[in-house]
Amino acid sequence: MRNDVHSFTFTEKIRSVFALFILAIAFIFGGILAAVFGLLTFFQFTNFVVTTFGKMIGTVAFFLLGLKMKVIQHGELPAQAVYIFNHSSTLDIPITLDIGLKNTRYVAKYELLFNPVFAIVGLATGQVFINRGTSTKAIKSIQKAYKRIKDQKLNLVIAPEGTRKHSDRIGKFKKGAFHTAKDLGYPIVPLYYENSWNLGPESALFFHRGTITVHIFEPISTAGWTKENLAEKVAEVRSKYVEWSEIYD
- Between 39 and 92, where is the model more confident? 92
* pLDDT score at 141: 77
Whether the full predicted model's pTM is greater than 0.85, yes or no, is yes
Residue environment code for 6-43, b if the CB has 16+ CB neighbours within 10 A, otherwise e: eebeeebeebbeebbeebeebbeebbeebbebbeeeee
Instruction: List beta partners, residue 192.
Output: 215
* 8 Å CB contact between 104 and 156: yes
Q: How much of the chain exceeds pLDDT 70, in percent? A: 96
135 vs 249 pLDDT, higher one: 249
pLDDT at res. 36: 86
Rg of the chain (C-alpha set):
18
Decide which of 134 and 92 is more confident.
92
**Is 175 exposed, middle or buried, given 0-12, 13-18 or 19+ CB atoms closer than 10 A?**
middle
What pLDDT, on the 0 to 100 scale, is given for residue 133?
Answer: 63
Half-sphere exposure of 22 (CA within 13 A, CB side): 16
Q: How far apart are CA 223 and CA 133, in angstroms?
A: 29
**Pairing between β-strand 128-130 and β-strand 104-109 as defined by DSSP bridges:** parallel
Distance (Å, whole) CA 188 – CA 179: 11
Phi first, then psi: what are they for 117, rounded to 5°? -70, -50
How far is the C-alpha of 238 from the C-alpha of 249, rounded, in Å? Answer: 16
Q: What is the pLDDT of residues 136-166, one digit of tens each?
A: 777 777 888 899 999 999 999 999 998 887 7
- Note whether 140 and 110 are within 8 A (CB): no
E strand map for the chain: 67-73, 82-85, 104-109, 128-130, 155-158, 188-194, 210-216
pLDDT in tens, 168-213: 889 999 999 999 999 999 999 999 999 999 999 888 899 999 999 9
Q: Assess whether pLDDT exceeds 50 at residue 1.
A: no
**pLDDT tens-digit series, residues 96-123:** 999 999 999 999 888 888 888 888 888 8
Please tell me the distance from the alpha carbon of residue 232 to that of residue 182, in angstroms, as a whole number: 13
Question: Do the beta carbons of residue 179 and residue 73 sit within 8 Å?
Answer: no
User: How confident is the model at residue 131, as a pLDDT?
Assistant: 78
- pLDDT, tens digit, for every residue of 42-83? 888 899 988 988 899 999 999 999 999 999 999 899 999 999
Domain 10-248 carries which CATH code? 3.40.1130
